[in-house]
Amino acid sequence: MEKKRKGNWRGGAWVSLFSILIGALILLLGSGKAEEGRFVYTVRVEGIISASSADFMVSSIKRAQRDGAEALVIELDTPGGLDISMREILKEMLGSSVPVIVYVFPGGSRAASAGVFITLAAHIAAMAPGTNIGAAHPVNMGGEKMDKTMAQKVVNDAAAYIRSIAQQRGRNVKWAEEAVRKSVSVTEKQALELHIIDLVSPTLGDLLSKIDGRTVKTPQGTVVLHTKGANVRQLEMSFRDKVLKVISDPTIAYIFLILGFYGLFFELSNPGAILPGIVGGIFLILAFFAFHSLPVNYAGLLLIIFAMILFLAEVKVMSHGLLTVGGIISMLLGSLMLIESPVPSLSISRLVILVAVVITAGFFAFVVTKGIRIQMKKPTTGKEGLVGEVGVVRTRIDPEGQILVRGEIWTAFCEVPVEVGQKVRVLDLVGLKLKVEKV
């Protein structure tokens, strides 16, 4: 009986110990899952705010909401960009259920123009030491001059928009309006003092520690941030966005345009080549796709198209270089006008334009020179090729006889008798007989 009790006690002890171990394991796994479940997405946005930037940022915000991230941190460094792209980003930020943190980072970065709007629209705005924000005065990205009335309308619209954003996020409304109307700009320390941003932080880890426990308002309600110790996951651009970003560069789009026209030019000059036409068509499609997201001056585009028409006409109609000169002038003017923007990042490289025009001018100058030389060259076949040739008399000409000219024996006639062995010059071809004169 005593042995039975001891056995039962031992069995119960083992069961209890096993239960404790299982419980501890569950708690550890549960806490590990909870820790693993807390994560923050980060994205890096550099350069101009374009269609590719807008697509990337909008898709990142949507993914953060879908995956249940604690927050989305946008590391920003931009000189500005397109108004339409900026507004797409702001709509998604203002309607996001996941807190969006804009972090002007690293040192030396800036949030200018459209970057000011994006920073002010963040649930939490932060800057790294050595950064600046401001200069949000709207400019016509297409480079065209606006009259005074239109310019005032654009400024008033931008000022009202940034006031609305600053009020919604509880930031300095007065400074925000001055950034638009007067293009004021401040450092990160001044921005913190003026209540433009929420904090200054040297690193991302320090930023996530400082904002931990803060409360932000979203359209779906109040959210408490739990970012300290959360996993940081970097979101990268998709292949499509990377391709769009590359071809949206004005210089790259211009190169595609020129290469596309060259391809079509060689196809039309040599029908049946096929490959130049296919490659040219692909380049043109990529160029026009890029122009869809760029501030294109269509007068410049038409001038470039007109230049290519003139170059093609030069091959078909010999104008002794006049069409080529007109094409070069048209191409140069069109290239300079195509995308002319106050933002350097939205302008075509002048060096690329110069190289493209010089190569084109050199190529067609070569073609025209060869064409003129061919026109001026003496014919070598047919009637024109025989006239002027010198031959030797084989049988006496009086008034007809035979001569040897260019290795061929011809019947010839002359107004005066010519003896065998003497030389005669061909004056004309009459039927199958040569009219000659004595040399």
pLDDT reading at 3 higher than 50: no
Q: Is 113 a catalytic residue?
A: yes
Q: Which of the pair, 159 or 324, is modelled with greater confidence?
A: 159
Model pLDDT for residues 287-309, shown as the tens digit of each residue = 888 887 677 888 888 999 898 88
Angle at 282 between CA 279 and CA 283, to 5 degrees: 85
Catalytic residue among 50, 85, 113, 293: 113
pLDDT for 252 beyond 70: yes
**What is d(CA 50, CA 246) in angstroms, rounded to the nearest whole number?**
11
Residue 174 confidence (pLDDT): 96
- pLDDT band for 19, please (50, 70, 90 cuts): low
User: What average pLDDT does this structure show over 176-205?
Assistant: 95
Distances (CA, A) of 227 to 222, 232, 350, 391: 16, 9, 47, 102
Query: Which of 24-28, 181-185, 188-192, 349-353 has the lowest average pLDDT?
Result: 24-28
Residue 330 has pLDDT above 60, yes or no: yes
The whole-number average pLDDT for the span 317-325 is: 76
- Walk me through the domains of the chain, giving residue ranges and CATH numbers: 36-237 (3.90.226.10), 249-376 (no CATH), 382-438 (2.40.50.140)
Task: Give yes or no for residue 77 having a pLDDT over 60.
Answer: yes
Given this model, what pLDDT does residue 26 score?
43
Q: How do residues 339-348 score in pLDDT, each as one tens digit?
A: 766 666 667 8
pLDDT for the residue 267: 81
In the block, tokens 């056995």 appear at 7
Which of the pair, 189 or 301, is modelled with greater confidence?
A: 189
Cβ-proximal residues to 35 (8 Å cutoff; 6+ apart), any chain: 229
Residue 86, classed as helix, strand or coil, is helix
Produce one character per residue of 97-107: b if its CB has 16 or more CB atoms within 10 Å, e if not.
Answer: ebbbbbbbbee
pLDDT category at 310 given cuts 50, 70, 90 is confident
Q: Under a CB-based contact definition with an 8 Å cutoff, are residues 439 and 389 in contact?
A: no
Q: Which pLDDT score is estimated for 416?
A: 87
**Catalytic residue flag (residue 209):** no
What's the mean pLDDT in 7-29?
49
Q: Has residue 434 got a pLDDT over 60?
A: yes
* Of 430, 429, 401, nearest in space to 414 by CA: 401
- Cα–chain-centroid distance for residue 328? 24
Quick one: pLDDT at residue 71?
96
pLDDT tens-digit readout, 103-112: 999 999 999 9
Task: Say if residue 384's pLDDT is above 80.
Answer: no
* pTM score of the predicted model: 0.67
Model confidence at 350, pLDDT cuts 50, 70, 90, reads confident
| Residue 210 identity (one-letter amino acid) | K
> Which member of 6, 91, 153, 433 is catalytic?
153
- Per-chain mean pLDDT for the chain: 83
User: In percent, how much of the chain has pLDDT > 70?
Assistant: 83
- pLDDT tier, 78 (very low <50, low <70, confident <90, very high otherwise): very high
Residue 236, C-beta contacts closer than 8 angstroms, at least 6 positions apart: none
**pLDDT score of 298:** 84
